[in-house]
């Protein structure tokens, strides 16, 4: 399949690489052009612009937020103006429900197809093609793009004919992840102030009642004081509460870290 891929950040680069490994013809575009170099070395074509990436059957976007998606889709020589009639835009970005609805309407008016397909999984999971894909859109469009989802993920969940439903699922999932991070941060700060080793505490949790991957992954990051955990809370978790995907705010420091242990 002839694919354009726009957005080669930590998630997008891995996804595009796995599409290449699945023998798809992939054109890649990123505002920072050097991010395409490694993929070009693997066989991708470097698109000169977002418009240039829209010459095939499908264009996939994996961008940071609503503003970035709006710019690429609705801007001058953007996806709406450039994608052929009958071709499909697959949006894997974490965006608001409102923007997803707007995208669906605009693509329909232009005679194009639109699928929302956000993913669950961190960059290391994207790199090995083991993401979980949450897809929503017209059944025939999803069937046609199923090989792409198989290339980037270990399982695809089709949740609705309405694209915005996939974005709602993704946002609600991010909210739950952020809640886990917040509760783990509080608990680990509390026991840490009491002299308990955070790694030993995490092993107790994940070996008993809290064995889910989200506790193991983010618990490990918290125990090791990795900054990426805080970045998730600030940009893709609490700022994108399901009821207000464009809210602002920075997650507070755990209360237990500010109070003396009893």
Say whether 170 is catalytic: yes
Distances (CA, A) of 199 to 122, 188, 217: 21, 9, 12
DSSP state for residue 252 in the 8-state scheme: P
Residue 39 CA to residue 8 CA, distance in Å, equals 9
Farthest-apart Cα atoms in the chain, separation: 66
- Is residue 81 within 8 Å of residue 111, measured between CB atoms? no
Residue whose C-alpha is closest to residue 1's, from 33, 19, 24, 30 = 24
Computed from CA positions of residues 145, 150, 152, 153, in that sequence, does the dihedral angle turn out positive or negative? positive
Residue in 45, 155, 170, 193 annotated catalytic? 170
Q: Which residues does the annotation mark as catalytic?
A: 170
């Amino acid at each position: 399949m002839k694919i354009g891929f726009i957005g080669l950040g930590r998630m997008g680069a891995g996804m595009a690489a796995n599409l290449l490994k699945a023998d798809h013809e992939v054109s890649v575009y990123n505002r920072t052009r050097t991010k395409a170099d490694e993929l070009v070395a693997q066989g991708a074509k470097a698109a000169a612009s977002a418009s240039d990436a829209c010459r095939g059957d499908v264009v996939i976007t994996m961008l940071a937020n609503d503003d970035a998606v709006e710019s690429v889709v609705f801007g001058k020589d953007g996806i709406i103006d450039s994608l052929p009639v009958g071709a499909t835009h697959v949006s894997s970005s974490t965006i608001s429900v409102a923007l997803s609805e707007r995208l669906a309407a605009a693509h329909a008016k232009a005679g194009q197809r639109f699928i929302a397909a956000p993913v669950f999984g961190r960059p290391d999971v994207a790199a090995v093609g083991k993401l979980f894909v949450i897809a929503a859109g017209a059944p025939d469009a999803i069937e046609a793009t199923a090989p792409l989802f198989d290339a980037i993920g270990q399982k695809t969940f089709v949740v609705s004919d309405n694209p915005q439903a996939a974005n709602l699922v993704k946002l609600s999932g991010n909210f739950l992840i952020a809640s886990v991070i917040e509760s783990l941060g509080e608990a680990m700060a509390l026991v840490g102030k009491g002299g308990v080793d955070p790694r030993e505490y995490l092993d107790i949790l994940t070996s008993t009642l809290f064995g889910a991957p989200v506790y193991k992954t983010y618990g490990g990051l918290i125990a090791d004081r990795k900054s990426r955990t805080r970045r998730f809370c600030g940009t893709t978790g609490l700022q994108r509460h399901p009821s207000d995907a464009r809210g602002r705010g920075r997650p507070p420091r755990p209360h237990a870290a500010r109070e003396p242990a009893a």
